[in-house]
Structure 1
């Protein structure tokens, strides 16, 4: 070996010393570079993506976030954002049910993944299905006194529910809730449908709203009665009540059958004409028997015409 030409050439040209010098130079550069651009660590909390999921399959529960510890040169790490690192599980088996899958990470060049908080995570798969279910209208609140409501209707009467198959069997209907809040007239409004149980975003309903109609009717018989004014006191001396009128003259009333059968008129509260020397016009409340409800207004406009007494013309005796 020592007599070979290569060996003699290496000895003659000090190749060994040169290689040693090159190695020492590299180590010195590495040390200096490390001081100027040190290795640092950074932690990221990132969501896990599901890759390979077919259009028919769905995740029953959302995948957890994981903590990823990374390291690299400061010049590189300071520009790294969470979106630059992708954490995912690869779903190749679309079989329904739970399974443990390894967590995989994609990181930019120069970024080394040191550790992951979850090496494996549980994935729960199901198949999306859909079916038609009826709309149940729920009425909340009470109608105005003297009124009640009949059976409500929804249009359309059925909606389409799309959900993981394990949830679909539980869903028998959807609900449309309508508030009546002292209603006296029929109600027709667009109402958002809802499920009896909160399934989050995994269950969708189409259409999301329905048109609800709720008939509101009187709870007793309806009768049209006259409205009359009640007067109190006497006009001033030398004056007389020429006429009186009430507007409206009649109103529709409802109430218990036994009361309505004997109800002929509705009077206003007394209008005081004591000492009056001119016309009086007032809005006066009605006096309603117990249980009787006015289907119109609860006041009437009373007008009283008051004039001086006409002097008698003396008779001439021929």
Structure 2
């Protein structure tokens, strides 16, 4: 058997090599090596917790080569480039963008592969929220109360920016408002000159509730006529009336809302046996006004039916 194997061994070896080469070319034609380009996100890794990087690129382009079936089966959503920030310091730093190709693939290049990033110290602090009104209330409106939620927020980011924050504001349009209202708005961090700063605000939205009072509210109320004293025995008060029967009063909303009627000064009916008529003054509570100060009053008195 060994004798047969040793016969013509050079020819047999050449045949084996030819078969291997032919297999390689056949497989290459069926599963060729291809070059593909992906846009992948960039992650900053190993960054000191006391530092912050905000100008690193969001994405880079990577060029890979590999067999077609490997490329087809690969999930490109899982590809990630990275910046190893373990050695960076505050200020400008030149860093390399790295990429580890998946199994079966080869990395051709990363575009860009070197960049300059600015590193700053990280800082955060609590800042109260203030309202900045847009427009103004009319002269008839008084602010009763205003409630802000949240009352304070956390600003964070580059130390220099965070330290420059003078206040966090919520802009609220109050022009034309006459009743209680609420508003929701995005918060802004301002420096002392009113410039908006590039910092993170948590939470980044606020809500405000306004309670308003009308300084001059009008209301129509009836006029009532009080009496003092008593009529003689055998007589009775049939009815009391005023002309006009009602009037419009003006005052602060909280006062006007408590008014149900306006009285005249009392009519003395002591010993009266006939109808009393005349002009009487109105008694207006403090803070309540009216264009009318007197009215005609009539108190009808008659004998009791026997």
By the TM > 0.5 criterion, same fold? yes
- Alpha-carbon offset, residue 175 of structure 1: 0.6
Match among 154, 174, 191 for residue 168 of structure 2:
174
Separation of aligned partners in 2, 1:103 and 1:159 = 35
**TM-score normalised by the chain length of structure 1:** 0.58
- Alpha-carbon offset, residue 90 of structure 1: 1.4
What is the 5 A alignment of 1:185-200?
A: 185=179, 192-196=186-190
More strand by share: 2
Partner of 2:248 in structure 1? 250
What is the 5 A alignment of 1:86-105?
A: 86-105=80-99
Match among 31, 41, 50 for residue 44 of structure 2:
50
RMSD (Å) for aligned C-alpha atoms: 3.9
Whether 2:154 is the aligned partner of 1:160: answer: yes
With over 3 angstroms needed to count, the CA separation of the structure-2 counterparts of 1:99 and 1:199, relative to structure 1, is: same
Show structure 2 runs of 5+ residues with no match: 224-241, 253-287, 289-306
With over 3 angstroms needed to count, the CA separation of the structure-2 counterparts of 1:210 and 1:160, relative to structure 1, is: farther
Show structure 1 runs of 5+ residues with no match: 1-8, 229-242, 255-294, 296-318
Separation of aligned partners in 2, 1:209 and 1:165 = 24
With over 3 angstroms needed to count, the CA separation of the structure-2 counterparts of 1:105 and 1:142, relative to structure 1, is: same
Whether 2:200 is the aligned partner of 1:203: answer: yes
- Alpha-carbon offset, residue 195 of structure 1: 2.4
Once the two structures are superposed, residues 113-159 of structure 1 have per-residue CA deviations (whole angstroms, 9 ceiling, x without a partner) of 22222121223322321223343321123324633558967566543
Partner of 2:24 in structure 1? 30
- Equivalent residue pairs, number: 230
Whether 2:127 is the aligned partner of 1:107: answer: no
With over 3 angstroms needed to count, the CA separation of the structure-2 counterparts of 1:184 and 1:213, relative to structure 1, is: closer
Partner of 1:314 in structure 2? none
